[in-house]
Amino acid sequence: MLDAAKLKADFPVLQQTVHNNVPLVYLDSAASSQKPQAVINALSKIDSTVYANVHRGAHWLSDESTALYEESRDAVAEFINAADSREIVFTSGTTGAINLVARSWGDANIEEGDEILLTLLEHHSNIVPWQQLAERKGAIIKWCDITDDGYLNLDEFENLLSERTKIVACTMTSNVLGTYTPARQITELAHAAGAIVLLDAAQSAPHQTLDVTELDADFVAFSAHKMLGPSGIGILFGKEALLEAMPPFLGGGSMIDVVSEAGFSTAALPAKFEAGTPAISPILALPAAIAYLKQVGLENIRQHEHALVTYTHEQLNALGKINILGPPPTAKAGVVSFTVDNLHPQDLTHALDNQGVAIRAGHHCAMPLHNRLSINASGRASFYLYNTLSDVDKFIQAIDKAIQLFS
């Protein structure tokens, strides 16, 4: 098991006090994780020593930057067990990765009357691009429901698959309920029906081992800023054959081989999907985040978060007046969303913030899920490797104080 208190010392932002010298308790890592000093140092070193445009310079700085850029791609491929680094495309984030697939693969392969299968657990980033695609092409979106206790309804999922289903887009871990979905089984069922699969791994890659070869998904998307890395970059894994067949999404520099008055030809993978100047420094610093996660151990992180969530459930239930959303700790990641009787989540969040405890409130970019739960908003505490049982205690104490205050 990891030593969270020791790890927390690696994160400068978590050493701060807020408001009237109140120690900061950060419980919003599902939105964005904090960066350890190793990643901060990597960003500073890159900008101080090797920053230059990649792939198109003719000088030492550009050569060094380009080499490190491709080493970052190799590090990602190894981290998720991709067969080839050409299957790794750098994007602006999970949202950018999903939009790339919807625009490129979707526009080339979806026709009127085709079906796109989504679940009610999805983040808006894995809903709106498919709604836009359906509107452009006249396709139909089918929705897989969840059970009342927050599990994906797998029987319904299987019944919704048909010969018209062309793509299944599903989260691996709900950003609201923390629910783990049976990703491998989903992929097997979809492939048996002739559909391809995109997995949203934004809440999975930072917290548990992600093996794209074992999952056999066609596309997997996730973001660096949720896994101790810089913001502004994401990763799209795509099977090589699919990426080869897909047209480029954005046009411009870097994604071309030849341009003439008559037209253009695309560069080889993965360059044809990386138009323009990328987020150079963040991409070059990403291996520092990956190295940190590997040193701590993804399985250690998962077990640590399970212990925190289990303890949080126990303490919230002991308070009373708390409705915890979703499944029990055994079936969820390091996320606890909840409502408090007669207390709006926004009011609660402000009360907690005044006590130095940072959580999220709102619909968490998952309005269809909140509609399914018959609520407009919820509070959400999300944990990571640097959170401790003491953080949970402070969180519980702050809620108790807020309940008393608003009573």
Distance of CA 342 to the CA centre of its chain: 32
Question: Which is nearest to 169 in space by CA: 227, 117, 110?
Answer: 117
- Among the listed residues 140, 271, 365, 375, the single catalytic one is 365
- Token pair of 402 as six digits: 């807020």
Tell me the C-alpha distance between 16 and 2, whole Å. Answer: 22
Tell me the C-alpha distance between 373 and 247, whole Å. Answer: 39
DSSP state of 406: H
275-295 in b/e burial notation, b at 16+ Cβ within 10 A? beebbbbbbbbbbbbbbbbee
The CB-side HSE value for 195 (13 A sphere, CA atoms) comes to 29
Which uninterrupted H or E stretch holds 26? strand 25-26
Residue type, 321: K
CB 22 within 8 A of CB 356: yes
170 is catalytic: no
Q: What is the CA radius of gyration of the chain?
A: 22
Question: Which is nearest to 90 in space by CA: 239, 286, 228, 264?
Answer: 286
CB 282 within 8 A of CB 43: yes
**Interaxial angle between packed helices 298-319 and 389-406, expressed in degrees from 0 to 180 and rounded to the nearest 10:** 30
Which residues have a catalytic role annotated?
365
